[in-house]
Structure 1
C-alpha cells in the first residue's frame, strides 16, 4: 500500500522522498520509534519540515511505509527458505523451520523490531493482524502446501484466519520480547500449537 501523498514524478522529488525514508530508517536504527518526529526526520534528511508534509501525511505515514518494506524484506527471506526445504521432512519440521526462520530474520532485520513495536502500540490488535490474503497469509498457505496439509473446504477460510492471527500475535510477542530464551520458548510453543492444530 503506497501512502505517499503526492507521487513524485521528477527525479529530484523522488530523490527527496528516498532521502526522507532513508533518514527515518537511520533514526530507527539508532533510537526508538517514539523519538522519531517530523522535526528529527527533517533534520536528519537535511530538508525543510514542509517537504515531509508535501509527500507524507505525518510521521506515522512514513513509519507505515517503512514497516511494509521491512515486512516484505523479511517475508522474502522466509519464502527463499521455504523453497529450499525438503518436503519429505514432514509438516511439523517444516512448520518449525519456517517459524524460526521468520522470527530470526525479523529479529535480525535492522528496523523490523522497532517498527513492530511501533505498529503494535499505535494500532489496535485488529488493525495490525493481517488477513488471509496478506503476505503472512500467503506464507502460511505455502507452508501448508509444502508440508502436504490440505484443509477441508468448509473450514479453509476460518482455519487460515485463525492461523494467521495466532502466528501474527505470537511472532510479534516474540519479536518484542527482550529475553532471548523467553522469545525462543514462545516460538517453540507456537510451533507445537500449529502442529497440533494443522497437522
Structure 2
C-alpha cells in the first residue's frame, strides 16, 4: 500500500522537523511538502504536486502568521481540497467547534502519543473523524451539560470581555449593537452562574471554555 501523502503546515521549523520524523517513522505516512503559513499551504495545494499524485491529507496548525489554520481549513475545504487534520496545542471549546465547523476532519493535540497521531492521520485521510481523547471528552462534557454550553457568539463576547474590552468596544469589533452585547452577557452570566464579568471569565477559564 502506498504511504499517505501529507502537506505539513506549521510555522515552527523545529516542530515541522519533529512531526515529519514521527509521521515518516511509521512507514505509512510520507510528508510530501511543508508550509509555514496558511497562505503557503494554499499555494502548495494550488501548485502541481511534487510527485504528480497530490496530497491525501493536510496536517494543520492553528495559530500561524499570514492566515490562521481554521480560516485556511475553511478555504481548503470550500475549494474541494484534501481533508484537513488540525494538530495544535490549543483545546478550548471555541477553537474545537470552529475547526469542525470549518470542515476539519479531526482535531489532535501535539502532545498526543505517536501511535494516536498516526492513527488519526490514517482515519482522516480515509474520510473519517479523528479526535484526541481529551477533545472528545471536552465535547461530550459540553453536550451533557447544556447549561454551560455557550454559543460561538457568547464565547466571542466573553473572550473580548476577558481582555478588558468595554461593551462599546465589543459591539464595534463584532459589528453588533451594545444592547445585543448586554443580552449575550446576561445569558452568559445565567449559564455560568456568575454575577460579574470577572466571575464569568474565571468560571469560563476553569471549565476550559476560553484561554
Query: TM bucket by the smaller chain?
Result: under 0.3
Q: Report 1 or 2 for greater relative contact order, CA contacts < 8 Å, sequence distance ≥ 6.
A: 1
**Which structure features the higher share of strand residues?**
2
| TM-score normalised to structure 1 length | 0.23
| TM-score normalised to structure 2 length | 0.22
